[in-house]
Amino acid sequence: MAKKNKSVWTPWSLFGLSAVLLSAGWLMKPFPILIFVGFAPLFAILDYARDSKNPWNRFELILLALTISLFAASFFDFQIIITVLVQAIVLTLTFVGYSFAYQNLGSRLGKFTVIFFWLGLEFVLLNLPWREQTIFLADSLSLVPDWIRWTNHSGYLGVSLWILSVNLVFYLSFFHIGTFNLYLFIFAILLIGIPIVLSYQMDTLGVNRAQMISFSNESNILQEKFTGELVARTAAWVSVLIILLAFVKNQTKKK
């Protein structure tokens, strides 16, 4: 029996909230603070999808929210609307993948799995020919490079990990059990502030989008290429392992 969701939020209200927050985060690039909360409602929508008998239930809302936010990220450039839609479909697979893995591997599989899948797909997109047209989540902080000087250690896509991790904590503090958790909320605020404060203490500049893409084009230095985005590359391998385990479990159930 599907677990009843105790949240007072409906899937459509969560979709609307996420679309507004994410779009505003992309459009407010000089101060993109809303990008740190815009994904939290999508994690909540995932609860409805995960607990439904229909494995595809509510994913259309996630797809629509991502499409709107990526379109806002392009500043509503209709010339790349097809590219935006394709990328939104690809990134929606991160939530579909979690639902599939959850149904086969059980409730111990946390929503941090979504972050693994997202980073893994961003790493795949980085290594495809159309990387120049790809909108990476880390791009939302491109106008505040002083916040992300630490990317010398994590790679540019480490910013995506940071943003999604904060969103996950905000989800846990606001939407997880239908009540507000003050301690998790404070933790989320600290998770935003501490990396920024530490970044301002660093003398070096962080990795930017152009450097990441340029680096990924250097096919003659494969070893450096793959260590440059260590966080995303690791997430890609973990994602493959999770999907393989879920697939094996699913096939075992059918026998």
Higher pLDDT residue, 100 or 51? Answer: 100
Q: What's the mean pLDDT in 129-138?
A: 92
Alpha helices in the chain (DSSP H): 11-27, 40-51, 59-73, 81-105, 112-126, 151-154, 158-174, 182-200, 209-216, 222-228, 230-254
What is the residue-wise DSSP string for 18-64?
Answer: HHHHHHHHHHTTTS-GGGGTTTHHHHHHHHHHHHSSSTTTTHHHHHH
pLDDT at 49: 74
Tens digit of each residue's pLDDT (9 = 90 or more) over 25-38: 999 999 999 999 99
Inter-axis angle of helices 112-126 and 158-174, to 10 degrees? 160
219 has a pLDDT exceeding 60: no
Cα–Cα nearest to 65, from 32, 16, 29: 16
Cα–Cα nearest to 96, from 144, 54, 35, 140: 54
Confidence of residue 221 (pLDDT cuts 50, 70, 90): very low
Residue labelled with tokens 């790493």: 123
Q: What's the mean pLDDT in 104-123?
A: 90
141 vs 121: CA distance, rounded Å:
19
164 vs 39: CA distance, rounded Å:
7
pLDDT at 53: 65
Return the CA Rg of the chain.
Answer: 18
42 and 64 Cβ atoms separated by less than 8 Å: no
pLDDT at 22: 97
pTM of the model: 0.90
pLDDT at 108: 75
161 and 119 Cβ atoms separated by less than 8 Å: yes
